[in-house]
Amino acid sequence: MTLPSPAPRVIGATVTYGARSASCLATLDALLAAGVSEIVVVDNGSVQAARRDLDAYAREHAPRVHVHRLDRNEGSAPAFGVALALAVERGADYVWVLDDDNLPVGDALVTLLREERALRAAGSPLCAVAPTRAPGFAPEDIAHAIRVEHAREQPREDRSFAGVEGALFARRALERLGLRRPRVPDAAADLPYAPYGGLLIGSDVIARIGTPDADLVLYGDDLEYTSRIVAAGGRIRLSRSAIVVDPRGQRWMPPGFEVLAMFRSTNDALLYYSLRNRIHRELRTGRRRSLARSANAALFWALCLACAVTTRRPGKLRVLRRAAADARAGRLGRRVEL
């Protein structure tokens, strides 16, 4: 792939952990093939075999690949914070952030750079561009991802609670019943926040918004981090043309109706951090207490009670209550072991 001229210095950044070296090395191969100048890999507590694989890869591709090791899994927020900081220290003009199982399709990097530069030329120097993430390389997977992601309507975080917004809930229900026309995908969609996976962000933007909040540990830290761009008057563009494959392997929380999925989830620690951080982010947006917020909280807990009965998993309700209480009290940091 040929980067725009003059070619900017793009440094890839990823975080890996556990026994995930096989997927991570495939991501590193894809980053190098895309034309990044260097790659920073943060080893977030990998097992010994995975460490050996990463070290061997770094030696083989020296001096373009650098592995920074953490002794234990510190969570995504601290680890991606280290990765971003190291990339900037190494002189990046842009940092391309990928999860350790992401695989860019074709000229995704070239497309992201072109769209980012277009935003700047249009008067938005505080910006970032996110790709459309598809579950696979098949054309139908990519087409479906473009259709779904660009038509997705996010809840208003100045009034939602735990992702529940009554008005949006009603609109989605009407769409499923065929009583309301589905939202038409945007040709050029701006996002209120974006995940790390595939995000292209300038080093000057990182200097402006800082690094992820380590106290969030993991889940939602990427959304809080990128929401700072919009809060500061900037823009995040969701690209229709830049595609990154984000495999939908076995997940700790199944797809579908989100509240029900919480009760069917398989990891209480991840459930805790996911909900705590989401409510924390919402309460920092708009008024902490309002009639709309209270109504949406009541709707969320009513849905939780119904799901607890349906799934016969009342223990999940205790996890959710603790997460909500800690979010309201501002009790962040590593409170549950991973």
Are 23 and 73 in the same domain? yes
Are 161 and 203 in the same domain? no
Are 30 and 164 in the same domain? no
Are 201 and 275 in the same domain? no
Are 174 and 60 in the same domain? no
Are 109 and 134 in the same domain? yes
Kindly report, residue by residue over 7-16, the tens digit of the pLDDT: 899 999 999 9
- Per-residue confidence (pLDDT) for residue 302, from 0 to 100: 97
Backbone angles phi, psi at 164, to 5 degrees: -100, 125
Are 121 and 48 in the same domain? yes
Are 204 and 67 in the same domain? yes
Geometric angle at alpha carbon 207, from 206 and 213, rounded to 5°:
60
Tokens (6 digits) for 108: 């995704």
- Per-residue confidence (pLDDT) for residue 105, from 0 to 100: 96
> If you ran DSSP here, which 8-state letter would residue 8 be given?
P
Tokens (6 digits) for 161: 């609670």
- Per-residue confidence (pLDDT) for residue 2, from 0 to 100: 64
Please compute Rg for the chain using Cα positions: 20
Are 176 and 196 in the same domain? no
In the chain, the number of structural domains is 2
Are 274 and 307 in the same domain? yes
d(CA 323, CA 117): 40
Are 28 and 147 in the same domain? yes
Asked if 54 and 16 count as a contact pair (C-beta separation under 8 A), the reply is yes
User: Of 245, 264, 279, which residue constitutes the final position of a domain?
Assistant: 245
Asked if 94 and 201 count as a contact pair (C-beta separation under 8 A), the reply is yes
> If you ran DSSP here, which 8-state letter would residue 92 be given?
-
- Per-residue confidence (pLDDT) for residue 176, from 0 to 100: 76
d(CA 149, CA 260): 21
Q: Does any domain span residue 1?
A: no
CB burial of residue 231 (10 Å; 0-12, 13-18, 19+): middle
- Per-residue confidence (pLDDT) for residue 1, from 0 to 100: 56
Are 256 and 135 in the same domain? no
Kindly report, residue by residue over 287-308, the tens digit of the pLDDT: 899 999 999 999 999 999 999 9
Q: What is the pTM of this model?
A: 0.92
- Per-residue confidence (pLDDT) for residue 312, from 0 to 100: 96
> If you ran DSSP here, which 8-state letter would residue 269 be given?
H
User: Which sign, positive or negative, has the C-alpha torsion 263, 162, 245, 145?
Assistant: positive
83 membership: H or E segment, kind and range: helix 76-89
Residue ranges with strand state E in the chain:
10-18, 38-46, 65-70, 94-97, 103-104, 127-134, 189-191, 199-202, 235-245
Residue 161 belongs to domain spanning: 157-181+250-338
Q: Which residues of the chain have a pLDDT value below 50?
A: none
d(CA 331, CA 137): 41
